[in-house]
Each structure stands twice: as C-alpha cells, then as structure tokens.
Structure 1
Amino acid sequence: MSEAKTLEAVQEVAEAAEVAEVAEVAEVAEVAEVAEVAEVAEVAEVAEVAEVAEVAEVAEVAEVAEVAEVAEVAEVAEVAEVAEEESFKQMFEASLKEHPDVRRGEMIEGMIVGINADAVIMDVGAKNEGSIPLAEFAEAGLELPAVGEMISAMVESAGGTGGVTLSVLAARKRESWGAIEAAVESGEAIDAVITAEVKGGFRVNLNGLTAFMPRSEADTDMHVKSESLIGQPCKVAVLEARRRPENVVVSRKKPMAGQVEVQRAQFFAERAVGDKVTGEVRRMTDFGAFIGLDGVDALLHVSDISWRRIQKPSEMLSTGQRVTVEIVKLNAETGKVSVSMKALQSDPWENVAATYEVGMRLTGTVRRLLDFGAVVELEPGIEGMIHRSEMSWTRSDVKPAQVLSEGDVVDVAVLEVDADARRIRLSLKAVSDNPWQSWLADHSIGSHVTGKIKNITDFGFFVPVGADLDGLVHMENLSWEKHGSEALADYSKGQEVECVVLGVDVEKQRISLGIKQLSGDPFELFLENVKRGDSVNGKVFEMKPSGAVVELAENVHAFLSRREIPREHEELKEGSEIEAKVIEVNRKRRQVELSIRQQLRDEERDAMRNYSQQAAKDSTPSALALELQRKLLGKID
C-alpha cells in the first residue's frame, strides 16, 4: 500500500476520533492496536465497502509498521487535539460576551427598560434584566427614572430563580460611606436631610444612609421648633461613624456654630445703637420676641412692639415674619441686643392734651378686661380705663365681664386726661341717663309706690321701685306705735307693701321710703295743740330707774325724769294719773320732757298771785300778806 493511502487512512481515523472523544484518539494513537482500528471502522459505518477494505489493509500495515510511523500518527493526533481546545476556548469567550458575569456587590450601569407596580427593570446586558425595588428610589432620595434612562445600581444577588436583584439604595449607601469617612478625616460638613423626629433627636438621611442627630445638636438655638426642621436640607458634621454595626451620629449645630460666630463678631463690629436693621422673628415668649439678626438673637420686648398696649407678641407678630427694628441696646461683652419697633413710630400721646377734653363723648373698642375695670382703645396707641364703678348706675361693684366683652365697641365719656402720666379715665354710665334723676322726675316726694319686699336686713328692708332700683324702708319708718325691731318683725320677704317716697339722694343713689307715713304723725298732731310750758295730763306707761314714761295721747309718749318728781309726791307706778308741765320739746328726736315739780311750783305761784289780787281788792294788805307777796312775786311796793 502506498504512503499516500496510508496518510489518507490516518486522517479518516482522526475524523472518527473527533466524533468520539479526544482521549480515545490519544489511546488509539498510543496503543495502535487492531481492535481500536476495528472500532474506527464501526464509526465509519457509512463508508463504502471498498474503503473498509482499505482500512483493514491499513490496519494490517499499521500492525507491521515501524515505531517511527506510529509516532508520526500520534503527533498528528496531538495537533488535532490542540486545534479542538482552541476552538472550545473561543466558543466559551464568545458565550461570556453574550452573557456578562455579574457578581454580588458589583456596581453596574444599565438602561431602564420597564417600570411596574413593584420594581424598576434595568437591562444588565445580552438581553438579561435585573429588578430594583420601586420604594428604594424614594428612600434614597432619588427621583423615579424614566424608561430609556441610564442609571447605576449595585448587584444584590445574581442567578437563581429570582434572576438579578439590584439596589440603588445600597449604591447610595456605598457612596455615602465614602463621603462620611472622608468627612470624618477632613472635618468638613456634608449634605443631609432631616427626615423625622425620634426619641431623643432626629433621623437624618445622608444620601441614602440613615444617621441619628441628638436634639442638642440640632441647632444653636435651643428653642428651635422640631417641625421647622423636618424635611429641611442642611449641612451636618459627622460626630461618629461605624460600619459594623452601622451607626452614624451627626450634628447640625457644629457647622452652624462656626458660621454664627463669624456673623456675630461682624455684627457687633459694624452695628451701633440707633441703627435700623431687618430680621426674622425666630421665636416668641409671653414677654417678647427674639429677632434673628446676622448670627445674633435680639430681644424685642412686648412693650417695644407698638405704642398700642398688647399682652402677648402673638397679637401683632408671627414666627418667620420679617420686621424692621431699631437697635436700642447693644452689649458686645454679654452678647445681648435689644431692639424696638415702636421707636420707629411717632408717639401718639404727644397730641393727647390737645385732642381730648373732660366731658367729651368718644367711641372706642374694649381691648382687655381686668378685675377692676376695662381698657378701651380710643385710637392706635391711645387707651383709656373704665373703672368698674363707672360701668353701671345701679351696680357699683359690678364685674366688668358681666357688662362688657373684649372687642365690644362702646360709647364713653372722658372724666380725666393726664397726658404726662399717659392716663385717661373714662365712664360708661356717664353717656346714659342717671336712673335716679329719671326716677325722681316721675316720683315726687310724698308720692306713693307699691312693691314686694326684695330682702330684709337688720335695719329695714328693700322694695324694688324700678329697673335695677330699690328703695329702703328703714325700720324706724315702719310704725308709729312700735319700735323699729318690733315693727320689722311684722314683715316678710315677698310681702307686698305700699310706701311713701320720703326722699331721693341722686349723688348717693338712695331712695328713702316709709310706711308709717301713710297715716298722720300722732306726735306732730299732739304738738299742734301743745307747746313748752303747757300743763298736760297723762298716765304712767312704764317705770324706769331714771324716771317714768308717760303716755300723753295715743302713740305719744313723754319722759318724766325722777329729779322732776318732788320727794313729798306720792310714789308713781304704772297706770298712775299725773299732771305735769311740758319743760322741753325736741321735734327732731321726737321727745317731750315733763316736770311735776315745775307744775306744782307754777300752781303755787298762780295761787299766790290770785290770792294777792283778791286781797288787794278787799283791803289794804297786812304786813304778813306783803311779806308773802315779796317772797313769792319778788315785788316790794
């Protein structure tokens, strides 16, 4: 068999080895046994019969071939094996290009190809897709991307039934940790957003990473309100950062403090008392408001907000409001600044003396109610006081809240103006008719009124006589016959009575009534016919240690002092009939004083006079008669 044919047979054997395995070809080449050649023949079942014969012939030749020829065949087989390995390598590399290898923790960039209710779908190469949870974008502070947009994300997991899971939040956190660690080393502040208030402080978002900020580190102003910080972007300094376990503590106050200190120093260097400045109302208290002025919180006292008197700053100001003020106090050492709004306004009290006069009637607005009166605003910055005694004609101790309410528009009269003391006294009742005068005009002295007893006191009782008007019936004006307390016992609350108007004191606001005056006064009736020096007859009504009470007429009593009773006079007792002389009459006190001694003396004198006159008519008087006449009458002829 020729050498060419031998080579052709070897090539066919090599092709058959490719169909089987490279290892088997190597074994055929190495052992080169006839049995293996036979196997090759089986593989080549489709070969023609002639070719099989040739193969068998070749096999025979191979059995007798020299070792050199067999080696040559093995070398050719090795060449074929190397070619196959190179082809497999190229195919594997092409496969890697079609299916990129993604590993957990790797950062990749891809295009958004879809968005559903739960996730954002991103192309990660070779038509392979990864999903990003939809909620992560909001949590990381990112806007939701649009389809077709290129974004970066971190591989959370790859392979398995879940496919490729990506995370923009983890990517943001990785970036944040780099920024945080750099900030720790450099001491520089980083961007943050305060997201929520938690126990002891605030939750802060650091580009997708959650940090904690203690309340004491939130602001240089310890009174800052939490709600004003939530959602606000800011600069923070990193106080503490640890990856395992994850813990980041930040401070907003630290970077603020440095900036504020610079502004503060500049403020005190450039500003002076009297300067006009504009700032923002930072916070308010009951006594004033604090105005932020370039790193300095200035106090605007409530009394410096307006010439108009206000109780709280909130009546005219609100947090965040911009105001223009004048610096009135400045102390760089203590860092305290006081400002005023009303210093920029004209003083309304400068024209009060020329504008307001006593007796004027004005209209004002009730601004405040106090225990002792009401404050009425007459114009912005000008207020007057209505004392509670000037609120009602009929109720002198009325509570202001029972008559007025804050915000009421009222008519008032000016009672006093003191511009120096910044005081105006007003009256509410002075603009209405005096009910006492009006009542007196309709009820003259001596007229009769009827009413039910309103209440009874120790000294009498009150009877309503008009709207909020009461008249007093003193117990001494109840009865001619009975003493006050005794007569008062005959009356009860609610009893209807008829009274006589005895008097009206408009200034003191009093109406005096009487009941006994409905009938004639027996004392006055008695005195119409009796005067001092007259002799009267009476009956002892009551005996007292100092004398006797004598009834002269019905309901008319006189007093007989014991010294006016002669010793030789018979002893008096209740019911004794007497004749006495009226020696004293006191209409005001309604008293009559009697004397039996004077009565007897006058009777004796009259008897002597009568005797002397009668004797003179009969004859010349005797010596004894003349002596008696001299002694009794004091006459000497």
Structure 2
Amino acid sequence: GVKGFLPGSQVDIRPTRFLDKYIGKKMEFKVIKFNKKRGNIVLSRRAILQEERGKLRDEVLGQIQEGMIVKGIVKNITDYGAFIDLGGIDGLLHITDMSWGRVKHPSNLMKVADEIEVKILKFDKDKERVSLGLKQVQENPWEKAHETYTAGKKVKGEIVSVKDYGIFIELDDGIEGLIHVSEMSWTNSIKNPTKHFNAGEMIEAQVLEVDTENKRISLGLKQLQDNPWDALEAKYPVGSKVKGKVKSVVEFGAFVDLGEDVDALIHVSDVSWTKKNVNLKEEFSEGAEVEAMVLAIDKENQKFSLGVKQLAEDPWKKIEMRLPVGTVVEAEVVRVTDFGGFVELETGIEGLIHISELSEERVEKPEDVIKKGDAVKAMVISLDKDAKKIALSIKAAVNAENDGSFTQPVQTATLADKLKGFNLGSSED
C-alpha cells in the first residue's frame, strides 16, 4: 500500500503534456528520491528509459553505416527539417532531403510519431551526428525524365514560382520546367510574367528541351498558339503596297499598325532617297495614316520591314541619263563651304563645285566667287551613282562657251522639279 510520486517530467524522455493516457498502466520505475521519515518516494520512468536508450544507443552506433536504410520515429519537426529517433540516437532529416520536389514546410509531409524509412547519408561517429535522407529511398524522377517528357509533348502543371524572366511549372514531384518569357508569346507582348501569371494556377505548355544532367526542362507556351508570322508572308508579299496607322515614332524609325498581331517598322533609312538627315517627328505623327511598301518579312527574327521611299523611283537610278558628264546646268547655290559650293540639281540631289573648279584664277575663299542663292552655270565633270556624288565645274562651262562647244544649259531645280515626286498633303510632304 506504499505510494510514490511520479513527476510529469519523469514520465518519458520527451516532454509529455497529457498524462491521462498512462493511468492504469503497469510500468517499471526507478526510485530517485526516498524520505522514510516523511514517507516521500519520488519515482522516475525516464531514468529507466534513458538507461535502456543508452544501451540501445551503443548498439546502434556500433551498427550504423552510411548508405544504410533504417526505420525511425519522427521525434520533432522544425522549419528546416525533422529529427528522427533511430533508437538511442537522433538523426537530422533536412528539408532539402525530404522530397525530390518543393517542400514548403516539413509538417506538410510528416507529423510527430510517424514511422518512416530513411537512408543514412552521413555519419560522424566522433560527434555522434547522423544526416538522413527520405527522398533517397524513393526513385529519382529525373532518371526517367527523358522517357516521360519528350520534345513536342503537351504537358500540364501547377505554377509554383513566378519570376521576371519566366515561370516555373511543377510537372510531377521533383520535376519542374521553366517557361522563359521569350517562349510565352510570338509577338513578345508579355514583358513581365508577374503581371500575367500567379502561383497556384494550372497551365498547359509544350516540352521544348530536356536536360537531365542539369535537371532542367524548357517549356513553351506560344508553341500551343497559332504563329501570326506564318500568315504574314502570304498576306503581305514583298513589293505590295499597304496602308496603316503610325503607332509610335522612335529614334530609328516608325512602327505601323496594319491591324495584325505584329507591328511593321519603317526604318529611318527607308523614308527618303535623298534626305540625309531625316527628322522622323516631322515625317510621321502618331495616329496618322501612312502608305508604304512591304520590303521584307523575317519570320525567324520576327521583323516586318516597310519602306516609304520605295513608293517612288530612286532619283539616282537614271541620273546619268538626265545629267550625263559634259552637261552644262544652271542651278542655285544652296550652301558654301571652305572647299567649294553645293548646288541643287534636282529635288534632294546636290552637286559639288570644288574650289579648284570655280575659276581659272586662284580662289582663296569660295565665298569670294559664289554666294548662297546665286544662280550659276556649271558643267557636270564626274558622276558616281553608287556614292551619290556629282562634281561640277564653272570654269569648264566657261571654257566650253569660249571654245564654241557650249550648249544651252539644262535648267535645274525649278519649282516643278522641286515638287516632283511629292504627294502634297501626305506624310512625305
């Protein structure tokens, strides 16, 4: 009829909150305190268990080896993993070794008191530290990824992460694929994936490439959509004329909306045959209608090129027929430089009278002989159509007149000439 006291802290090795489950059970205890005078007896079951655990610990330490697969009980769960009781010794199962896939928290996979089978990854006998792996006792899904995920296959998965460069899709436990931002749209309309996709959404994609060595799968979203570039070549043959609205004017050209999913570009070099410094802001205004010619459709590089100057013939194309070498012209001086003067021969076409061709006499400064606005007679002495250069000579024209070989000068740069090729009221006004 002697009674003893069992403190809650001495019931088990691990702290026990609810003691009702032990009522009525027969167990072995160790007397850790005895006061005969007061009739006070303090018992401990924990001391018995620790002794047993110590014997078992020595046994386990003598048997344990790296690579072994053992069973254990989940003892404690933390944010970074779980401690597993292997029988006398605890091992750490890190969160990264719990699953081949993503693990948000260890508690999503296991709970305290669960029995699990794990692999000994690392064992430090001196420090009595054991590292465990759960995923290592399961088949690595990447070993058959090449068979499961072949290029061109349509797959479905959950978006697990959204980055500014793409989205990660979980295809299976431990298998994720990346849809890069460049593979989301044929027209590159998606610039920032975070504005279009959310984690947790289900999405379909096409397998583009599988790299099992680096555990990477490249996926594509646009491959499941019709490519608008496929129809453009047939709809807009090179050389055809089109009309559209100017969508935007940038430093290198103007983008034109033709009512398609892709915009076309009029490059600054395709605005005028003769203007050297084209002011795009003066040539185009956003929202205005513009007519142009289709120059090229590059499906591979996704470039749709238009040209405005191609609507009219290149004035340099037959310049040698209109102004052959030996022709005497009458033209207006448009500017004077240190090395000579430029005259306008046709709209946008200028010729140079070099300082050495201004007079038979020595000329120190061109402005002593010619000034801007002067009308002069000069002879075409050379013409380079490819370089777009025409050289003229006043003294050659004078000599021709003096020796009798002078012909009536060609009148150039008249008002009619200056307006030639211009569509008044158009964007090329």
* 1:131 match: none
Q: Residues 316-365 of structure 1, C-alpha deviation per residue, up to 9 Å, x if partnerless?
A: 613234321122222232221122223223334344456665x5333142
* 1:410 match: 204
Tell me which of 508, 521, 527 is aligned to 2:319.
Answer: 527
Check conservation: 1:452, 1:494, Cα contact below 8 A. yes
* 1:61 match: none
Check conservation: 2:83, 2:91, Cα contact below 8 A. yes
Tell me which of 571, 587, 590 is aligned to 2:369.
Answer: 571
Check conservation: 1:479, 1:487, Cα contact below 8 A. no
Q: TM-score, normalised by structure 1?
A: 0.50
Matched AA of 1:585: D
Q: Does 1:310 align with 2:102?
A: yes
d(CA) in 1 for partners of 2:217, 2:326? 65
Q: Residues 570-605 of structure 1, C-alpha deviation per residue, up to 9 Å, x if partnerless?
A: 822223223232523344x6x232131795599599
* 2:389 match: 592
d(CA) in 2 for partners of 1:452, 1:528? 37
Matched AA of 1:494: G
Q: Residues 556-582 of structure 1, C-alpha deviation per residue, up to 9 Å, x if partnerless?
A: 333444355445388222232232325
* 2:266 match: 473
How far apart are residue 294 of structure 1 and its match?
Answer: 2.2
Check conservation: 1:260, 1:294, Cα contact below 8 A. yes
Check conservation: 1:474, 1:514, Cα contact below 8 A. yes
d(CA) in 1 for partners of 2:358, 2:253? 38
* 1:57 match: none
d(CA) in 2 for partners of 1:303, 1:536? 88
Distance 1:549 1:323, change over 3 A: farther
Q: Does 1:297 align with 2:107?
A: no
Distance 1:254 1:428, change over 3 A: farther
Q: TM-score, normalised by structure 2?
A: 0.70
Q: Residues 14-35 of structure 1, C-alpha deviation per residue, up to 9 Å, x if partnerless?
A: xxxxxxxxxxxxxxxxxxxxxx
* 1:332 match: 125
Check conservation: 1:329, 1:339, Cα contact below 8 A. yes
Q: Does 1:432 align with 2:234?
A: no
Check conservation: 1:305, 1:313, Cα contact below 8 A. no
Distance 1:260 1:464, change over 3 A: farther
d(CA) in 2 for partners of 1:526, 1:232? 109
d(CA) in 2 for partners of 1:252, 1:354? 56
d(CA) in 2 for partners of 1:219, 1:597? 117
Q: Does 1:362 align with 2:161?
A: no
Indicate the structure (1 or 2) with the bigger Cα radius of gyration.
Answer: 1
d(CA) in 2 for partners of 1:232, 1:573? 115
How far apart are residue 412 of structure 1 and its match?
Answer: 1.0
d(CA) in 1 for partners of 2:72, 2:359? 104
Tell me which of 152, 170, 194 is aligned to 1:401.
Answer: 194
Q: Does 1:229 align with 2:30?
A: no
Distance 1:508 1:528, change over 3 A: farther
d(CA) in 2 for partners of 1:453, 1:318? 61
Distance 1:345 1:536, change over 3 A: farther
* 1:580 match: 379
Distance 1:279 1:481, change over 3 A: same
Check conservation: 2:323, 2:380, Cα contact below 8 A. no
Q: Does 1:543 align with 2:336?
A: yes
CA RMSD of aligned residues (A): 4.4
d(CA) in 2 for partners of 1:276, 1:573? 100
How far apart are residue 552 of structure 1 and its match?
Answer: 1.2
How far apart are residue 239 of structure 1 and its match?
Answer: 11
* 2:111 match: 319
Distance 1:191 1:408, change over 3 A: same
Matched AA of 1:394: T
5 Å-filtered alignment, 1:189-204, equals: 190=6, 192=8
Check conservation: 2:342, 2:352, Cα contact below 8 A. yes
Tell me which of 49, 63, 67 is aligned to 1:274.
Answer: 67
How far apart are residue 540 of structure 1 and its match?
Answer: 1.8
Matched AA of 1:580: M
d(CA) in 2 for partners of 1:457, 1:294? 73
How far apart are residue 442 of structure 1 and its match?
Answer: 1.7
Distance 1:503 1:343, change over 3 A: same
Higher relative contact order, chain-length normalized (CA < 8 Å, sep 6+): 2
SS in 1 for 2:266: strand
SS in 2 for 1:469: coil
Matched AA of 1:368: V
Matched AA of 2:203: V
Check conservation: 2:179, 2:218, Cα contact below 8 A. yes
SS in 2 for 1:363: strand
Check conservation: 1:475, 1:488, Cα contact below 8 A. no
Matched AA of 2:371: K
d(CA) in 1 for partners of 2:399, 2:83? 100
Check conservation: 1:374, 1:386, Cα contact below 8 A. yes
| Unaligned 5+ runs, structure 2 | 34-42, 406-429
Matched AA of 2:319: L
5 Å-filtered alignment, 1:159-198, equals: 183=5, 190=6, 192=8
Q: Does 1:453 align with 2:246?
A: yes
Q: Residues 360-405 of structure 1, C-alpha deviation per residue, up to 9 Å, x if partnerless?
A: 3331424532423233345554443332222222227733334544
Check conservation: 1:531, 1:582, Cα contact below 8 A. no
* 1:486 match: 279
* 2:138 match: 345
How far apart are residue 483 of structure 1 and its match?
Answer: 5.6
SS in 2 for 1:327: strand
Distance 1:478 1:293, change over 3 A: same
d(CA) in 2 for partners of 1:487, 1:524? 23
Check conservation: 1:413, 1:430, Cα contact below 8 A. no
Distance 1:558 1:412, change over 3 A: farther
d(CA) in 2 for partners of 1:238, 1:439? 92
5 Å-filtered alignment, 1:41-60, equals: none
d(CA) in 2 for partners of 1:540, 1:515? 29
Check conservation: 1:390, 1:429, Cα contact below 8 A. yes
Pick which of 481-490 and 388-397 moved more. Answer: 481-490
